[in-house]
Amino acid sequence: MTARTAPPPARRRRAGGLGPSPWWGYAMIAPAFIGLAALYLWPFLKTFAKSFMDTPAFGPGTWTGLDNYTDLLGDGDFWQAFGNSGIYTAILLLGVPIATVLAALIQQISRGRAVYRVLYFLPVVTLPVAISMVWRFIYNGDFGLLNWVLSLFGVQGQYWVADDAYAIYAIGVVGIWMSLGVNLIILGAGLQSIPPELYEASSMDGAGRVRQFFKITLPLLSPSVFLVTVLTVISALQMFDLVFVMLRSVDNTALDGSKTIVYLFYEKAFVQFDQGYGAAIAVVLLLVIMLATVLQFRLQRRWVFYD
């Protein structure tokens, strides 16, 4: 996880303020650190090591250097999965402005605000299998709800989740819908911290709602928007579950062209027993996510406003 907030400014204390010796502090954090090391650091190091190995289904592998990585670069499936994850991430980023506007609208509601929050949060706590069943019905090419609505406008529907030309986009829409709940909570919290006097003062000066949104809400909310954007990119690049539950039915022919990078990892490591190759995919994904996050932190200086 990346840092959610900037670290607090370091305050120098008088020497000895924390007690006689520093080892005590390390001892205090040891349980948490050991837990993290065992559950995250150790698997990470193992994965990293495995990415340089040719691994049989069971037992130790043999070192093959960069073979997995060079294979990866020449693997069409890998690039396709990369493209699909990129498309999915781009679609989910469209969800950030939607969530921002919705959060601002909900903030304006004086009564029943909680009802809306709950409604938008429901998808987050609903079983993925139930979600996939409902959306598969909506997207069904022959008797789906979406195509029925389109037919009312004379538009010819598609086999949204049975055709790899559309499946990743269709899944992206579900992804936006599922991510709204958490995003609205974060953005809602950000909105609460904007002093209401600013709105009162500006409306006395004759500013309308739209102008207030762009001149007050958006700049003051920008740290929250930035946070939501970073989290969205990180989670969208790791998307696996929606492909797994929506496209992995027995006869689905759209799966081939719609795999995401983590789905490909799952398939290589756990279905085809090629853990070394899977590990290489995971390491590349980690690098991409790190790069994307660093880039965003660089770019934030241009648009995020901290008061």
Partner 1 sequence: MRHSKRRSAAAAVAATALVLAGCSGGGDGDEVTLTYATWSDDQKPAMEAIAEAFEADHPDVDVEVQVLPWPEYWSTLQVGAAGRTAPDAFWMLADQFPAYAEGGQLLDIADAVADADVDLSAYPESVMDLYDTGDALYGLPKDFDTNAVWFNKALFDAAGVAYPDDTWTWEDARAAAQELTDADAGVWGIAAPIDRQGGYYNSIYQAGGQVIGDDGKAAIDTPEAVAGIEFWTRMQADGSSPTLQQLSDTEAVQMFMDGKVAMYFSGSFWAQRLYGDEALRPNVGVAPLPMGEQRASMISGILNAGYAGSEHPEELAEFLIFASGEEAARLQGESGAVLPAYDGTQQTWLDAMPEFDLQVFVDAVEYSVPLPIAGNAAEWTGLETEYLAPAWNGEQTAAEAAAAYNAAIDEVLAE
Stretch that binds partner 1, among 15-23, 30-38, 57-65, 208-216 (CB under 8 A): 57-65
- Binding mask 125-164 toward partner 1 (x if CB under 8 A, else -) reads -----------x--xxxx-x--------------x-xxx-
Residues 168 and 171: their CA atoms lie apart, in Å, by 5
- CB atoms closer than 10 angstroms to residue 122: 13
Residue 19 makes contact with partner 1 by CB under 8 A: no
Residue 58 makes contact with partner 1 by CB under 8 A: yes
User: CB of residue 138 vs partner 1: minimum separation in angstroms?
Assistant: 11
Q: What is the dihedral of CA 190, 191, 193, 194, to 10 degrees?
A: 130
Pick 33 or 270: Cβ nearer partner 1: 270
Query: Binding residue for partner 1 (CB under 8 A) from 23, 33, 79, 273?
Result: 273
Residues in contact with 176: Cβ distance below 8 Å, sequence separation at least 6, in sequence order: 91, 92, 94, 95, 98
Q: Where are the alpha helices (DSSP H) in the chain?
A: 23-36, 42-50, 67-73, 76-108, 113-125, 128-139, 145-152, 167-192, 196-204, 209-212, 218-237, 241-247, 261-266, 275-303
Largest CA distance in the chain: 79
Stretch that binds partner 1, among 51-59, 62-70, 118-126, 213-221 (CB under 8 A): 51-59
Pick 70 or 253: Cβ nearer partner 1: 253
Residues 193 and 236: their CA atoms lie apart, in Å, by 28
Residue numbers 226-255 binding partner 1 by CB under 8 A:
244, 248-255
* Residues that contact partner 1, how many (by CB under 8 A): 31
User: CB of residue 270 vs partner 1: minimum separation in angstroms?
Assistant: 4
User: CB of residue 26 vs partner 1: minimum separation in angstroms?
Assistant: 16
Residues in contact with 64: Cβ distance below 8 Å, sequence separation at least 6, in sequence order: 52, 53, 54, 276
Query: Binding residue for partner 1 (CB under 8 A) from 40, 63, 270, 305?
Result: 270
For residue 63, give the H/E element and its range: strand 62-63
Binding site for partner 1 (CB under 8 A): 56-59, 136, 139-142, 144, 159, 161-163, 244, 248-256, 266-267, 270-274
